[in-house]
Structure 1
């Protein structure tokens, strides 16, 4: 047997050194850990999730409720129109037909009740009653005055009480006529006409005291200037 063969045989039969055993154990442990790490489950990335803020959620909910209300309101059945019919014998008032009804008496050829368009004047009422007679005192009547519905136009004749009575007729004078009176301006003139519209004809001059703004002193000044 040669020397080399004897050395290899001695190396095989010689017990391993302790240091070599520890080194080999460390190496095998390291390899086992690496293999286990490679064969383990692959880590997954966390899945991102949407996050909604509470304020945004409340605003979205309110908008949905508003839209639902609008849709419900539009789909709600409309109330049927109510038709009002007047009885067959109902007669509309002159204020709704644009008409005034006036009683023309005195010195006219055809005295009586006449129907005229709203805004007509005293001269129109006289024409509708056939015109004044030869004895009519036309100067005592304000022919340019605008007529009120339901009033009476008196055309005086010679010696009649109306012709002899001085002063402005409170029941036939318009606002422009009343403004010519002492102490009566546009405001008081409109108030007198409004009182007459609300309460009807003046039955006495003293009823002027019921008009706001006319006190005892002004009423005393007007007594000789007006009549009813």
Structure 2
């Protein structure tokens, strides 16, 4: 009888001992699966955060572009040229960016409080200069009341009506005023390639700025 009990007890011990590793292995696998799920969730969260940051970066860049504009300031200003200004800037701010008006400028012609638009050309006339504002025309259009040609606004064909000014010299005049933002005086015409004192003396009474 004792021998049977001993055999039975040994058998039970063997079952328990052999069963424990299986239980431990199953528990370990469950822990590993849980860790993998958590790792996947954390990785997905990180990717989502990166996507949000990228989107925010793009939105900020596009917003920055919308908050800027470019304006061409020319005529009677200290530094004619194209300037980058904040969107919604006014005329007086563009003039200040160009160094302010020259001494002979006609500041009363401009509405200093007017809002500017992207790509606009702002022309500051000289005192006594004739300016006509027509629908669809740019500021600075020429007025032919005294028969003189405004070398800042005249078209190529009109420049060619001047004494000694042919097609090549007319092209040079237009190129010069585009690069320098216009002529500050009629004497500056002598700075144009192909125009020296001889040609200037022929046209000086026919032109104005």
Do the two structures share a fold, i.e. TM-score over 0.5?
no
Q: TM-score, normalised by structure 1?
A: 0.35
Please report the TM-score for the alignment, with normalisation by the length of structure 2: 0.38
Larger Rg: 1
| Structure with the higher fraction of residues in helix conformation | 2
